[in-house]
Copies of this chain bind each other. A is one copy, B any other.
Amino acid sequence: MTGERTATLDDVARAAGVSRATASRVVTGQGPASPRARDRVTAAVAALGYVPDASARALVTRTGTRLAIAVIGHTAAVLDDPYVGRVLTSAAHVAAEREVGVSLHWLPLADPGSLARLADGRGLGGLVVVNPTRPALESVPRTLRGRVAAVGVGARHVPSFDVDNRAGTDGVVRHLARTGRRRIAMVTGPAWLPCCDRAVDAYRRVVRDSGAEPRVVTGDFTAARGAEAATEIMARWPDTDAVFALSDLTALGALDGLHALGVRVPGDVAVAGFDDIAFAGLSRPALTTSTHPVEDIAAAAAQAVLDRRDTSGATFYPSALVVRDSA
């Protein structure tokens, strides 16, 4: 059983009758090699089932080839949301195309310094931060500068990719106003997420322009909170005729909450969400919402990091209004 040792480059070289240097050149495809040597090494690799050791390679090349994805805010809410899964899936897909490994990291919101510790391996070629907060992004070690991107707007010095929720919100709220809604409430996302500010801002602007007062309630992107929030809103402002939630999950929850209250949708109150998740079209009434190209955004972030493109500043992806039955 001692022979069970996995083959090393030395074994390959010996089997091929060349030096380790030559074997390395052939395997990596870098540097000159005669056809003859190439063939023999290739054969030996196949025969021995040789697979280069990533650690050893990373150690010498100093070129960590691993994309780290750090998700900030490790709470049940984050786990339930399909959002994170979609980001992961898409980023991992991009990485796989480039034959880059992906590593996942859950960072508690309270301890953003943990992002620093994440540089451990130095083996990582890049970092994508999901749900970025300013302190978290600022704790990213210098070593990685230029190889970091954020999904969701955060600090200034890191290229960020996010949906244009300002324009998206504007579109949804204007649609509500256009269809005769005058007392529109909004359920935001968690307060610590900087990205929500822009949306709330857009909402406020439209509502104020129509001469009404903003009615904002803080949410957390969950359905449960959506039901609660709807109840709160109807209790506090009984004449509310529209609820806009910055998350479809929350909007679906609100739909449920309103249903429980005996409020008809869209008859009495219109409901609109944001994200256009797969289920938005399947609810009754089908949810009016605004698209959120999560996969595109995550892919862009991953690409920016892996290709070392210095797409500085924030890039916003368009969000399109999807009118269904709920508003």
Contacts and interface: CB of A to CB of B under 8 A. Distances in A.
A interface residue count range (under 10 / 10 to 19 / 20 to 34 / 35 or more)? 35 or more
B122 A80 contact: no
A266 interface: no
Contact of A53 (B82, B121, B255): B121
A82 B85 contact: yes
Interface of A: 4, 6, 51-56, 58-59, 64, 66, 74, 79-80, 82, 84-86, 88-90, 92-93, 95-96, 101-106, 117, 119-123, 142-143, 223, 249, 252-253, 255-256, 278-279, 281-285, 295
A272 to B, nearest CB: 15
Contact of A105 (B51, B96, B255): B96
Instruction: Give the residue among A117, A223, A282 with the most B Cβ atoms within 10 A.
Output: A282
27 contacts: A4-B143, A6-B143, A51-B117, A51-B119, A51-B122, A53-B59, A54-B120, A55-B58, A55-B64, A66-B103, A74-B96, A79-B90, A79-B295, A82-B82, A84-B89, A85-B89, A95-B104, A96-B105, A101-B105, A101-B121, A104-B104, A223-B278, A252-B282, A253-B282, A279-B282, A279-B283, A284-B285
A4 B117 CA distance: 17
Contact of A59 (B59, B253, B283): B59
A141 to B, nearest CB: 8
Contacts of A252: 279, 282
Contacts of A143: 4, 6
A58 B59 CA distance: 10
Given A59-B55, A59-B59, A106 B93 contact: yes
Given A102-B103, A252-B282, A51 B93 contact: no
Contacts of A281: 256
A55 B121 contact: yes
When A and B form their complex, which 4 residue pairs have the shortest distance between CB atoms, in order from nearest?
A: A85-B85, A284-B284, A54-B121, A55-B58
Contact of A93 (B79, B85, B103): B79
Contacts of A58: 55
Given A51-B122, A79-B93, 6 more contacts: A52-B120, A74-B96, A84-B85, A101-B121, A223-B282, A284-B284
Contacts of A142: 4
A251 to B, nearest CB: 10
A6 to B, nearest CB: 6
A219 to B, nearest CB: 15
B122 A55 contact: yes
A89 B96 contact: no
A65 to B, nearest CB: 10
